[in-house]
């Protein structure tokens, strides 16, 4: 039996970041730096998750898939193909840039990668908000005129969010995250982002960050009007179900059924959003903020002694992800 795979987080300094991953998730962060992102599951040439326990301890995710792709992902999975999903935590102390990711139809023309993602709001300060899509009545012509005047605020769809809310962000959707949000981001394995506007901010080097106006205008879906989030509730539900992945929100605890993953069905990712859970055999204990990869070849089951919320990401086997060069 292959045990769930746990990985060492990779932290990224960001001008809009803070120390929330430390205070809210109990992480040990690099000292005296605004940490905006934790890459918890990643298989890219420039960044590799390393397994922290079990039989694969010390190996990168790339090495695990190269050696054991059939057991982890299923028969026929190309061992040279990158893991299709990238899992991040975002600590947004300040507003992120207004940005867009390229749809698959234009990504290759722009020498980029398509990127569809989902944001789960693990914590939010009072009044915290997201920006997603355009306001009703906004046209491409009006948007471009406002862009030239750097007056975009009234043209984008901004709405307040709270703990437990979630929103799907397909490629082509213009978006930004306001300050005061702690977010679990589950996305295609991509690192292509085009900044439309950066609110006049400068980067950590004191210089204005690069904008990608032409690329952004080629990607923005101008028919994407005022999308709504999935609001928090006590019910199990599907947060996202698309070509790239499916994300389910599940509630565990006394009186509720165990969360069971039969052997031979599909590889899955389990993310603990609230509380703590453990495997039925007692070998794996997970707390808030943890993510594990469940190999397809083995059965896995999780229980919770107190109320807990977990997200389950699956159906990503066919999600496009390029081959990783030999390392």
pLDDT, tens only, 247-275: 999 999 999 999 999 999 999 999 999 99
Claim to verify: residue 140 and residue 281 sit in the same structural domain:
no
DSSP run (H or E) holding 36:
strand 35-41
In this prediction, residue 322 has a pLDDT band, given cuts at 50, 70 and 90, of low
The residue that leads in pLDDT, 148 or 156, is 156
Q: Is residue 321 part of a domain?
A: no
Q: Of 188, 219, 250, which residue sits at a domain end?
A: 219
Q: Of 187, 219, 251, which residue sits at a domain end?
A: 219
For the whole model, what pTM was predicted?
A: 0.95
Claim to verify: residue 164 and residue 309 sit in the same structural domain:
no
Claim to verify: residue 144 and residue 211 sit in the same structural domain:
yes
Claim to verify: residue 215 and residue 245 sit in the same structural domain:
no
In this prediction, residue 321 has a pLDDT band, given cuts at 50, 70 and 90, of low
**Predicted pLDDT at 327:** 43
**Using CA atoms, how far apart are residues 268 and 312, in angstroms rounded to an integer?**
7
Residues 6+ apart with CB under 8 A from 210: 195
Which residue segment(s) compose the domain that 47 sits in? 10-219
CB 318: neighbour CB atoms within 10 A? 10
Claim to verify: residue 142 and residue 241 sit in the same structural domain:
no
Q: Is residue 224 part of a domain?
A: no
Instruction: Tell me how far the alpha carbon of residue 277 is from its chain's centroid.
Output: 21
**Using CA atoms, how far apart are residues 270 and 290, in angstroms rounded to an integer?**
8
Q: Which of 6, 173, 195, 288 is catalytic?
A: 195
Using alpha carbons, list the distances in angstroms from residue 100 to 114, 158, 274: 10, 15, 29
With 0-12 / 13-18 / 19 or more C-beta atoms within 10 angstroms meaning exposed / middle / buried, residue 171 is: buried
Does 320 score more than 70 pLDDT? no
**Using CA atoms, how far apart are residues 296 and 102, in angstroms rounded to an integer?**
31
Q: Of 184, 219, 254, which residue sits at a domain end?
A: 219
Q: Is residue 159 part of a domain?
A: yes
Residues 6+ apart with CB under 8 A from 169: 101, 116, 117, 118, 119, 132, 175
Claim to verify: residue 126 and residue 257 sit in the same structural domain:
no
Q: Is residue 156 part of a domain?
A: yes
Q: Verify whether residue 142 is a known catalytic residue.
A: no
Residues 6+ apart with CB under 8 A from 60: 43, 48, 49, 50, 51
Count of domains observed in the chain: 2
pLDDT tens, 272-307? 999 999 999 999 999 999 999 999 999 999 999 999
Supply the mean pLDDT for the chain: 94
**Using CA atoms, how far apart are residues 258 and 270, in angstroms rounded to an integer?**
13
Q: Is residue 68 part of a domain?
A: yes
pLDDT tens, 2-23? 899 999 999 999 999 999 999 9
Claim to verify: residue 157 and residue 98 sit in the same structural domain:
yes
Paired sense of beta strands 129-134 and 156-160, if any: antiparallel
């Amino acid at each position: 039996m292959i045990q769930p795979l746990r990985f060492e987080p990779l932290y990224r300094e960001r001008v809009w970041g803070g120390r929330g991953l430390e205070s809210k998730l109990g992480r040990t962060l690099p000292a005296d730096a605004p940490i905006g992102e934790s890459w918890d599951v990643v298989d890219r040439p420039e960044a590799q998750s390393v397994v922290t326990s079990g039989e694969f301890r010390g190996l990168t995710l790339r090495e695990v898939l190269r050696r054991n792709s059939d057991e982890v992902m299923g028969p026929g999975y190309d061992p040279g193909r990158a893991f299709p999903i990238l899992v991040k935590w975002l600590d947004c102390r300040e507003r992120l840039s207004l940005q867009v990711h390229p749809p698959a139809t234009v990504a290759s023309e722009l020498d980029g990668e398509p990127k569809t993602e989902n944001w789960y709001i693990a914590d939010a300060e009072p009044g915290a908000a997201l920006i997603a899509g355009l306001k009703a009545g906004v046209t491409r012509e009006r948007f471009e005129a406002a862009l030239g005047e750097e007056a975009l605020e009234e043209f984008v769809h901004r709405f307040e969010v709270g703990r437990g809310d979630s929103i799907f962000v397909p490629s082509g959707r213009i978006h930004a995250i306001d300050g005061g949000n702690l977010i679990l981001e589950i996305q295609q394995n991509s690192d292509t982002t085009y900044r439309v506007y950066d609110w006049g901010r400068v980067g950590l080097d004191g210089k204005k960050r690069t904008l990608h106006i032409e690329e952004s205008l080629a990607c923005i879906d101008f028919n994407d009007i005022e999308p709504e989030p999935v609001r928090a509730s006590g019910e199990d539900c599907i947060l996202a179900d698309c070509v790239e992945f499916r994300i389910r929100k599940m509630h565990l605890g006394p009186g509720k059924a165990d969360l069971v993953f039969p052997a031979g069905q599909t590889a899955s990712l389990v993310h603990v959003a609230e509380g703590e859970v453990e495997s039925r055999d007692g070998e794996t204990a997970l707390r808030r903020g943890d993510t594990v990869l469940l190999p397809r070849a083995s059965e896995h089951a999780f229980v919770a002694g107190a109320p807990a919320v977990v997200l389950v990401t699956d159906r990503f086997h066919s999600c496009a992800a390029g081959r990783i060069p030999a390392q």
